[in-house]
Amino acid sequence: MLKKSLLALLIILLMEVALTAAVKETTLKNGVDFVYKYIPNVKVTSVQVWMKTGSVNETTEINGISHFLEHLVFKGTTKFKPDEIDLVVESNGGQMNAATSKDYTFYYITIPTYNSKVAFEVLSEMVFNATFIKDEIDKERPVVIQEIKRKYDNPTFDMWKYISDTLYVDTPYSMEIIGTEDNIRNFTRKQIVDYYNKYYHPKNMTLVVVGDISYEEAKALATQYFEKFREVSPGKSYSLNKKIQLSKDDFKVFKKDLTQTYAAIVYPAFPITDQRTYALDVLTEILGSGENSILKSKLKSELNLVTSIYAGSMGQKFVGSFVIYFTADDENFNKVINETDKILKNIIDGKIDDNMLTRAKNRLKSQMVFQREKTSSEANDIGYSFTLDIKDYYFNYTDKINSVTIDDLKKVAKEVFDNHRIIVATSKSELKL
């Protein structure tokens, strides 16, 4: 009988082979990027449309329009009446959803393969032929405004807003995706249509098809439904060429009547497009992911200073951060900061052994494989990596993780942690550093 460690290694190797299965890429005549992957015997197909736009392409005057638009394209097209889209998809056995981020917006339908034509038709209508009926726009305003109000239910909302405002000052990354109540109330139909025509442009679209549909059928449906043209040129996309950095340490406490302190230590880091993010992924796994990570083992299990702790890299297309987030009793706040600083100093000094590195790599690779186990998740990873121009992330993730060395971790740790930072907390106490 194989030992568990050998069996786990064999599983990872087999899964890595599956990850490298062929992906076909082509560009339709109108500029839509079409990406296809065949997965046999799954009986479902995931069709996704990824738009290269999100709140990063907004100004303060139109902040929230990307997310509002995501709601509105479900509310009527030239072919489908308001509220008909969900009915059509569900009656054909499909599931659909959408999401808006700072860098992208995407829509997906996962449906039995024999009904996959429905997914192409519905998504095409939404991204090319939304009608933006005035009454439907007005009906949707209070829905989104209620979403905005709910964010204040989070006791740490002010904390995270302060982090964005401070770290990403003078960039659109400081704005919230959901926008402001005033903007949602006052958007005109013309503003919405203008943004739709400029940013829901074929040259900003990636159409991803994953499942057991044949390439020939998928390509024919892509051509039939997505080879359409916009008369306007694509809107200008945001770009940032400078490194985000802090000129000094920053400390802020928000007073709230809570039973424990919520706190975050935040460092500027790398955008998701930076090759150093692979080493930062491994560092995340070693520091703060899983019960055996250094931070959890030391601060939670051994010293009992925190009730929870997490560490992770938050990369976006042009900016990034590394966040250590914890909850603790008020009297332990400074102890947590001090112990965390010691741990980070040890990482900078290279106090990581080969076993820690190997375990972290294996966990990351297996997580990636299991993440792509579902057809929709596979399509999601393709859409994400192609839209953000990080194809390495999809095609070569395991190779990149395998290549990370202890020296890489030491170098990346120094580049991130040996810098100014933000410490912010929400607490009932007058915390001081």
d(CA 346, CA 351): 5
Contact 321, 174 (CB under 8 A): no
47 close to 113: Cβ distance less than 8 angstroms: no
Q: Whose structure tokens read 């907390």? A: 425
> Per 3-state DSSP, what percentage of the chain is helix, strand, and coil (rounded to 5)?
50, 20, 30
State the average pLDDT over residues 275-296.
Answer: 93
Count of Cβ atoms closer than 10 Å to residue 7 Cβ: 11
Per-residue CA distances from 248 to 175, 277, 428 (Å) = 22, 24, 26
Rounded to 10 deg, the angle between the 277-288 and 333-348 helix axes is 130
CA 344 to chain centre: 26
In terms of DSSP bridges, do strands 44-51 and 105-112 run parallel, antiparallel, or are they unpaired? antiparallel
End-to-end C-alpha distance for the chain, whole angstroms = 55
Give the pLDDT band (50/70/90) at residue 373: confident
Q: What is the pLDDT of residues 134-174, one digit of tens each?
A: 999 999 999 999 999 999 899 999 999 999 999 999 999 99
Residue-level pLDDT at 3: 44
321-343 confidence digits (pLDDT tens) = 999 999 999 999 999 999 999 99
33 CB-side CA count, 13 A: 21
- Amino acid identity for residue 68 in this structure: F
- Between CA 249 and CA 402 the distance in angstroms is 34
Rounded to the nearest 10°, the torsion over CA 270, 271, 272, 276 is -30
Q: Which residues contact 378 (CB under 8 A, 6 or more apart)?
A: 37, 39, 46, 210, 372
One fold for 21-226 and 250-427: yes
Integer Cα distance of 233 and 65 in angstroms: 19
Cα distances (angstroms) measured from residue 174 to each of 59, 166, 276, 425: 11, 8, 23, 19
Longest CA–CA span in the chain (Å) reads: 68
What rounded mean pLDDT belongs to the chain?
Answer: 93
Average pLDDT over residues 364-393: 93
Cβ atoms within 10 A of the Cβ of 254, count? 17
Architecture of domain 21-226: 2-Layer Sandwich (3.30)
Q: Which of 188-192, 325-329, 367-371, 394-398 has the lowest mean pLDDT?
A: 367-371
Task: Give the phi and the psi of residue 55 in degrees, each rounded to 5.
Answer: -65, -15
pLDDT at 369: 85
pLDDT in tens, 77-116: 999 999 899 999 999 999 999 999 999 999 999 999 999 9
Distance (Å, rounded) from C-alpha 406 to C-alpha 349?
10
d(CA 362, CA 56): 34
Cβ contacts of 52 within 8 Å, gap of 6 or more = 103, 104, 199, 204, 205, 206, 237, 387
Length of the chain: 433
Which pTM does this prediction carry?
Answer: 0.92
Span 8-18, average pLDDT:
47
Check: CB of residue 284 under 8 Å from CB of residue 307: no
Residue 240, C-beta contacts closer than 8 angstroms, at least 6 positions apart? 171, 318, 319
User: Is 213 or 22 the better-scoring residue by pLDDT?
Assistant: 213
Region of poorest pLDDT, from 17-26, 282-291, 293-302, 321-330? 17-26
CA distance 211 to 114: 11
State the pLDDT at residue 291: 79
Write out the two tokens for 296. Answer: 């959890």
pLDDT of 5 higher than 90: no
384-422, pLDDT tens digit by residue? Answer: 999 999 999 999 999 999 999 999 999 999 999 999 999
pLDDT tier at 4, thresholds 50, 70, 90: very low
Domain boundaries, the chain: 21-226, 250-427
Q: How far is CA 236 from CA 30, 58, 195, 204, 233, in A?
A: 18, 10, 11, 11, 9
β-pairing, 320-328 vs 205-211, is unpaired
The two tokens of residue 248 are 């000094």
Class of domain 250-427: alpha beta
Residue 10 confidence class, pLDDT cut points 50, 70, 90: very low
